Amino acid sequence: AKEREIYAAQAADSGKPEAIQEKMVDGRVRKYLAEITLNGQSFVKDPDITVGKLLAKSGAAVLEFVRFQVGEGIEKKEEDFVAEVMKQVKGS
């Protein structure tokens, strides 16, 4: 709703007729939704089709999302230098 208001204000500033402004707003909202929704995004391996079309064609469905943060699971175990040296000395 907020995006539609923003696009409507931009279209009003263009000075074009009302009917054309509505079409401009509808097109921009459709493009915005395609960018932010998974089903509307282009498929990585074939940008000519959307993820939604690929899912429909293959009979698959998205059941859940998992978010990974960059570097997650790569936590490094930290030891102090003295403990690390003592561990190596005792191990040899």
The answer to whether 25 touches 8, Cβ cutoff 8 Å, is yes
pLDDT of residue 92: 62
Reported pTM: 0.54
The answer to whether 16 touches 25, Cβ cutoff 8 Å, is no
The residue range of the domain holding 53 is 2-91
pLDDT of residue 29: 92
Tens digit of pLDDT for each residue in 34-87?
888 999 999 999 999 999 999 999 999 999 988 877 877 777 777 788 888 888
**Residue type present at position 19:** A
Q: What is the count of structural domains for the chain?
A: 1
According to DSSP, the residues that pair with 42 across neighbouring strands are 50
Whether 7 has a pLDDT exceeding 80, the answer reads: yes
